[in-house]
């Protein structure tokens, strides 16, 4: 049986009743965290208005987006918009070692399609859990080679997750689902070059995965034949975007083991690869109590991917570069003792103290850190003070990672912070209650209304 067919069978057979309680609990956390990230992106992304203006040229519809009373977009466009917001400020969740952000696409797709189809809470939970599983099964087997070949994991792999969500909520059968996955693979796109130029717009390719996945589901529903050899075919997804994929392992224990538990929550609005160094500095400063003016140098040893993506920008000139600058993140940790959305603005990256501190940071590829990649993604940091003191710390399991998890209470604090100034506080508090009780909700309309 082809992988697309195995996935299709899994999607068709999985529902709320087949999910373990812990999977349901984690899924609701992922929904809460992603909605919060989307709210923050809606408030802070500098291209929001231009992007919405561009999307209005794609046709009219009756689906909702965030922070608007209007219902003006087709469902696929609405999902794309919310997904773009969710990834816009680098606060969305991700897989512990596959370099992919599933929630940013899977959750918006479920919300948009759930609103259109009148899906109940149990259906939404099941669809989201399924979407994560499909994305993670693919991304964890094609990376890091997918990244090394220049393909963006979220823009590509999330397309399959969006199709799985849309197809499940549409009630597609196994044959249709397999065809839909084939169409998703043909339209999967996104390049890592977006981390080199046009970083402020990188989130659009992630949002586009939601649109492409929904379109793939509708084409399958209409009976179009999909490329069901999309994964293991000679010129299929695995061979085109990776190498030596263990095809037999991709679907091992599918339906028995849910990998949504391999998700990390982001606490800082930066590229994940810079965060081990940032957290190591934050923890060292908190424990040792020295001031930024005492710092003589900071040496950061990390792995090659982290260096390539975040180790070379020292003086960011815009929010995109700020999110991908490890030296700037370290400077904020030393001076501001925190790294938040407010720091991705000129007020902070043009601050002379932050510029001076960033210049003290030396980033290199550490052979020992590299040897642990991609199974472990971390950094070794050495901070030298002018009085001769030296502090060294390694960080692999960031706060919010599967091995160092944060629970609903901590996620609620992050959610309230992301929602502040975007929707009324009462709405934010009610949203958390609704999501916590989602399996007992007859539809997602209440969530949509609270997000307006």
- What pLDDT was estimated at residue 263? 97
Whether pLDDT at 375 is above 90: no
What is the Cα 181 distance to its own chain's centre? 21
Instruction: List Cα–Cα distances, 43 to 89, 241, 341, 421, in angstroms.
Output: 10, 34, 10, 8
Q: What are the pLDDT digits (tens) for 385-426?
A: 999 999 999 999 999 999 999 999 999 999 999 998 899 999
Query: What contacts 395, CB < 8 A, 6 or more positions away?
Result: 276, 277, 279, 280, 283, 378, 379, 381
183 three-state secondary structure: helix
- What pLDDT was estimated at residue 199? 87
Whether pLDDT at 31 is above 90: yes
d(CA 329, CA 280): 11
Pairing status of strand 379-385 against strand 295-302:
antiparallel
Mean pLDDT of 261-282: 95
Q: What are the pLDDT digits (tens) for 188-201?
A: 999 999 988 888 99
Q: What are the pLDDT digits (tens) for 151-177?
A: 999 999 999 999 999 999 999 999 999
Domains of the chain in sequence order: 3-266+405-450 (1.10.4100.10), 272-395 (3.30.1330.120)
Q: What are the pLDDT digits (tens) for 199-252?
A: 899 999 999 999 999 999 999 999 999 999 999 999 999 999 999 999 999 999
- What pLDDT was estimated at residue 65? 94
Mean pLDDT of 327-355: 95
- Record the pTM: 0.91
């Amino acid at each position: 049986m082809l992988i697309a067919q195995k996935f299709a069978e899994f999607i068709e057979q999985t529902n709320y009743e087949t999910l373990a309680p812990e999977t349901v609990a984690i899924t609701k956390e992922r929904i809460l965290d992603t909605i919060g990230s989307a709210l923050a992106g809606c408030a802070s992304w500098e291209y929001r208005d231009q992007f919405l203006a561009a999307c209005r040229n794609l046709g009219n519809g009756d689906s909702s987006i965030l922070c608007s009373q209007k219902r003006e977009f087709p469902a696929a466009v609405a999902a794309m918009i919310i997904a773009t917001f969710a990834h816009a400020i680098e606060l969305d969740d991700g897989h512990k070692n596959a370099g992919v952000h599933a929630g940013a696409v899977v959750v918006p797709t479920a919300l948009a399609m759930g609103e259109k189809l009148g899906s109940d809470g149990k259906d939404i939970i099941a669809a989201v859990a399924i979407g994560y599983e499909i994305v993670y099964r693919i991304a964890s087997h094609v990376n890091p080679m997918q990244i090394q070949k220049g393909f963006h994991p979220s823009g590509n792999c999330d397309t399959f997750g969006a199709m799985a969500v849309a197809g499940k909520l549409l009630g597609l059968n196994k044959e249709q689902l397999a065809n839909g996955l084939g169409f998703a693979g043909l339209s999967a796109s996104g390049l890592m070059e977006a981390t080199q130029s046009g970083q402020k717009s990188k989130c659009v390719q992630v949002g586009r995965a939601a649109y492409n996945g929904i379109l793939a589901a509708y084409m399958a529903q209409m009976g179009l034949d999909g490329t069901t050899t999309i994964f293991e075919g000679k010129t299929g997804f695995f061979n085109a975007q990776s190498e030596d994929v263990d095809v037999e392992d991709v679907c091992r224990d599918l339906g028995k083991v849910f990998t949504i538990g391999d998700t990390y929550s982001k606490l800082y609005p930066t590229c994940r690869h810079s965060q081990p160094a940032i957290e190591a500095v934050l923890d060292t400063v908190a424990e040792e109590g020295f001031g930024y003016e005492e710092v003589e140098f900071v040496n950061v040893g990390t792995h090659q991917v982290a260096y390539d993506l975040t180790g070379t920008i020292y003086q960011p000139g815009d929010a995109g570069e700020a999110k991908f600058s490890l030296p700037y993140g370290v400077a904020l940790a030393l001076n501001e003792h925190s790294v938040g959305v407010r720091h991705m603005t000129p007020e902070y990256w043009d601050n002379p103290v932050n510029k001076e501190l960033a210049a003290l940071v030396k980033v290199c590829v550490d052979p020992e850190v590299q040897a642990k990649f991609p199974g472990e993604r971390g950094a070794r940091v050495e901070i030298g003070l002018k009085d001769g003191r030296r502090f060294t710390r390694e960080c692999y399991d960031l706060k919010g990672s599967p091995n160092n998890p944060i629970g609903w209470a901590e996620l609620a604090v992050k959610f309230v912070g992301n929602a502040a100034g975007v929707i009324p506080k009462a709405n934010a508090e009610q949203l958390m209650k609704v999501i916590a009780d989602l399996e007992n909700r007859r539809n997602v309309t209440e969530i949509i209304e609270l997000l307006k």
